Amino acid sequence: MFGTGSFEYLVFLIITLLIAFTIHELAHAYSAYALGDHTAAAMGRLTLNPLAHLDPIGTLALVFMGFGWAKPVPVNVNRLKYGRFGNVLVSLAGPLSNFLLAAVGVLFYILIQIGVSSAATGYFATLSDFLAVFIQINVVLFLFNLLPIPPLDGYRIVESYMPISARQKVEKYYFYVFLVLLFCMIFDPARAVTFDPFFHFVVPAVMNFLQSFWMMFL
């Protein structure tokens, strides 16, 4: 296995995030389209082309810092079916897409472990290493995006049922909340007391759940 600071890990991380970001944003766009809002479709976001979803600054952060973000999908809530609940469905679509990607990754990982000799090297060993990164990152994205913190999807879900006055007050602090979020992600001391305890417990639990789920059928 490789260390998280290795070049191989960085390549796997970038490939994983390109796939995960693209599917995540496409899920938002398609769910909005299915619920009656064609705003994202008109802007060319109903596509698997990563270039349509990548944010320039987020992409640079991905290359140089190992994490990044994509362009948010524009959604006109007033055009959605089911009103506020429609916005909840659109917001959930992104994180759930990452959960499904992780589930598929776990299935392929298990099949490789079952079907290939433990002594096998080369292609299957590399593929297993990639899938390990792919699964972990997609589980992290699933959980991270459900946090009720702006501008994450979890906040969009909560926001759907917030009074307008409360939403307007929160919007004033979007930028500062985003800076605090970045600070907690980048600097080890801040991350150690914020995200690390949560993800060190919950991420492995979700991964174990997915493995146990598939093993019931294999």
Specify if 155 maps to a domain.
yes
| pLDDT at site 1 | 45
pTM of the predicted model as reported, rounded to 2 decimal places: 0.91
The token pair that represents 163 in the structure block: 């009074």
Question: Is position 172 within any domain?
Answer: yes
In a domain, 2, yes or no: no
> Is residue 1 assigned to a domain?
no
Q: Give the model's pLDDT for residue 28.
A: 98
- The CA angle 116-212-127, to the nearest 5 degrees, is 35
Structural domain range at position 189: 7-215
Residue ranges in the chain modelled with pLDDT below 70 = 1-5, 63, 65-67, 117-121
Q: What is the pLDDT of residue 5?
A: 63
Contact 95, 42 (CB under 8 A): no
> Would you state the pLDDT for residue 178?
82
Q: How many domains does the chain have?
A: 1
Q: Looking at residue 165, what is its pLDDT?
A: 87
Sign of the CA dihedral 29, 39, 161, 164? positive
171 is catalytic: no
- Within-domain flag for 175: yes
Does some domain include residue 94?
yes
Catalytic residue (choose from 8, 25, 159, 171) = 25
